[in-house]
Each structure stands twice: as C-alpha cells, then as structure tokens.
Structure 1
Amino acid sequence: MVGNIKINLWLGLIGFLITFFASIENNLWTTSLFRGVLGFALWFFLAFVLRFVLGILANPAGAATNKPSTPTSSENGQPDSSVDDPSRGGQFDVVTPDQDQELSDLLTPKPTDTVDKGGFAPLNPPKLVSNKQQDPEEMAKAVRHLTQK
C-alpha cells in the first residue's frame, strides 16, 4: 500500500467535515454528528481502497520482486531451474489430437434398419367426428336453456 495511516485519518476527517456541515443546516446537531461519524468511517475505508489501488498501479510487477533468492528443490531432490526462468509462463503451447476419423464418422450417414419392432412409432390419434348439419331449432332450445341458468 502507498502511504500510511495518516492519509486515511486525513481523508476521514475531510469526509467528517463535509458530511457534518452539509447536514447541520437541516438536522439537529446530534443527527449531524452521527452522520459525520458515518462519513468519517466511509471516507476512512475508501482511503484504504485508494491506497491499495495506487499500490498496485505503482508496482505492477510486485510479484516478481518477491521471488525466492535460492532455487527450490523438487520432490526428487533435483533443483528446480524453472523457478527463476524469466520466460516461464510466457507461451502457451497446446496441441490437440487428430480427430479426423471421429469427425468423418459423425458426418457420414449410417444405414438404418428398416424393420424396428420395438422402435419409435408416431402417434395416430382417432379423428374427431362432428355433425355438420344440426337442426336450428335444437340449437335455439340449447341456447335458451343455457341463458336461463
């Protein structure tokens, strides 16, 4: 982090004063004091965030300076030379396996069996039958009966 705790205290005090004087015009002094303390806490916390971000921006290669000075040894007792290698992690080399045969198998149609005894059969529902010619007198009686209830 950049700076020290004095920066947080000064920014908190500025936040307290701004909040207190903005609030004293319309509120009681106790309410303004409470809001000022909340403003102090908020500005104090924001100063920590600001110091953290400035610390990262000021030293973007901070992780590179924290390397161990001696090479570490791997599990088998051999010294690991890749720890201090500056080009480590600079390239990403990936080779995918050939899948030409699998792709051609997927694209070529396979012969299907024409005789499927227990396979899929589309649903054939029975057709609904409706009376096309109905007596108009019967229809009128049904409508009168339904409107009376």
Structure 2
Amino acid sequence: MNPMLALRQYQKVGSHAQTSEASPHRLVQMLMEGGLDRIAQAKGAMSRKDMAGKSVSISKAIAIIGGLREGLDMDNHGSDALRNQDNLYHYMMKRLAEAGIKSDPKMLDEVAGLLITVKEGWDAIADIETAQGAV
C-alpha cells in the first residue's frame, strides 16, 4: 500500500468526521483555515516555480473564499457590515487571481493577512460563546 495514499485517505476521513460534527461557526473557521493553507501552498509553489501547483492552490483558495462569500446572508438587503464583508471577500478573490497571473507572493501575503484578520474576529466570537456557555 502506498503510504502517501493511505495518509491522504486518513486525512479525508478525519476531516469528514470533523465537518459532520462541527457547528456552522466552526465550519466557517475550518474554511478560513483551509483558505490560509491553500494560500501558503500557492506561495510555496511559486517559490519552487511550480506553476501547476500554484494554479491549483490559488484556484482552491478562490473557491474557498467564494464559499465564504456565498455563506453571507445577503437576503433582505444585508446590513452595511455584510455588504462590506461581501466586498472584502470579492477583493480577496480578485487579488488571488491577480497573484496567480503575476506570480506575486506579496499579493498572496496581502490576502492571507486580510483572511487572518477576519478569522481572528471569528475566533474571538467562538471564545466569547465558549466563555458565556461556561457561566
């Protein structure tokens, strides 16, 4: 048996189990973590001149951020905060595409920084919910 194939299968099963038990809030956190992972992979691929790997990783990062964007509840003319979040996700997707075209790791860093900031907000919400649940 191929050990790498076995490892991938194990990771797939592990992530499936994790997502099936996760709250909607945790699923968003997991998407953000996945987006950051794909951006890091794209940056590594850029440094290795692996254009195919770069393209795949950037495409996956764009898809993840697109999923986050689709998850926004924009029905009933969303609030200014939701519109701003939607615009931010759109900007991130655009910058990732530009980073892929220009092979610019600084653009990837910019998007990663923005996504980290958003994720820190989500993480803080989880911390508050956990603290309130413990009271």
**TM-score w.r.t. structure 1 length?**
0.25
User: Which gives a bigger RCO, structure 1 or 2 (Cα 8 Å, sep 6+)?
Assistant: 2
State TM-score, norm by structure 2: 0.27
- Greater fraction of residues in helix: 2
Look at both structures and tell me which one has the larger radius of gyration over its CA atoms: 1
